[in-house]
Amino acid sequence: MEENQILQMAGSTSSFFQDARLPQQRDVEGVAFPAVLVPSGGPPGPGGGIDDFLAAVRSERASRVEPLLREAGAVLLRGFPVRTAADFDRAVEAFGYEELPYVGGAAPRTNVVGRVFTANESPPDQKIPFHHEMAQVPTFPAKLFFFCEVEPKSGGETPIVLSHYVYKRMNEKFPEFVEKLEKHGLIYTPVLGEGDDPSSPIGRGWHSTFLSKDKSVAEERAAELGMTLEWTDDGVKTVMGPIPAVKWDEVRKRKIWFNSMVAAYTGWKDARNDPVKAVTFGDGSPLPADVIDECGKILEEECVAVPWQQGDILLIDNWAVLHSRRSFEPPRRVLASLCK
């Protein structure tokens, strides 16, 4: 294997999965981040072995994959015979997690097959800042899958960062800010058009956000999310919050930086939205620009960005890890699936 693909084999082996190390991995508090699994006998031939892989996922998810996910927060599966969106859909099904409908999310996405969607379809020259998936709504996925169907010509990584470590660094550097954030939470107020706008990173229109073209149905579904709607001539202002920006991870017994604050403040910009107004403290007061800037720097400093390779599957625990997207030179096709 090429050095930039797999640096070395490491750790334990099962009948199908082998731990591996990549040069981009980081040791965070003694744990390799992300965890990496490759085929224990080397990669199978092109097009072969998909059924064996799916069977191994079903039999070893609980004993092999989930303990790694719990410890590391993210697991990269590399070198397995998953080539197409349909293969990826079968792989997600094999893991057995219940699907989470994409209701209330901001990113424009297209359903590809089954429970597989495109990842954020915003233009390649735009980067998508760090966020927990759907942190701006109370019903969010517990787990995310990303799959690289077509690897980028250059760039296009999906950087990841451990949320509890971001909280730790922010609390050390800005304790008064974090105290206010924990007390008041955040209010998110993105403005949506009617239809999707693929030129915007938050270009999902209200028709697809609420899966209906009926305003009364949209209002009902918004209310289920704890969201209020303020209709305009050509769209709707959504008001969500106050909603907690710091959560308690019950599984790992630690506080996490569970928000889309930096993403909203720096990235929710289009013809309808002023990012500075798109997110505020829960008491309505503005967020300090200098602290947001420093938080963005911390996220970048602590992140890991592994270049995508065709066939990669990245499983993320949304309770543990924030993710982003770097700009890229096409082609690039990364698909996603959200799970409860």
Distance CA 103, CA 108 (A): 12
Distance CA 136, CA 105 (A): 8
What DSSP assignment string belongs to 254-311? EEE----HHHHHHH--SSS--HHHHEEETTSPPPPHHHHHHHHHHHHHH-B-PPP-TT
What DSSP assignment string belongs to 189-238? --EEESS--TTSTT---HHHHTT-S-HHHHHHHHHHTTEEEEE-SSEEEE
Task: Say whether pLDDT at 281 is over 70.
Answer: yes
Which pTM value belongs to this model?
A: 0.92
Bridge partners of 162, per DSSP, are 321
3-class DSSP assignment, residue 82: coil
User: Most confidently modeled of 116-120, 124-128, 185-189, 270-274?
Assistant: 185-189
Instruction: Describe the strand order of the beta sheet including 321-325 as a list of residue ranges.
Output: 128-131, 321-325, 160-162
Dmax over CA atoms of the chain, in Å, equals 60
How far does CA 40 lie from the centroid of its chain?
28
Distance CA 301, CA 28 (A): 13
Distance CA 76, CA 308 (A): 10
pLDDT at 122: 82
Question: H or E segment at 92?
Answer: helix 85-95
3-class DSSP assignment, residue 177: helix
Instruction: State the Cα angle at 226 between 234 and 319, rounded to 5°.
Output: 110
Q: What is the pLDDT of residues 215-249, one digit of tens each?
A: 999 999 999 989 999 999 989 999 999 999 999 99
CB 57 within 8 A of CB 21: no
Distance CA 119, CA 97 (A): 19
Q: What is the pLDDT of residues 19-77, one digit of tens each?
A: 999 999 999 999 999 999 999 977 664 444 899 999 999 999 999 999 999 999 999 99
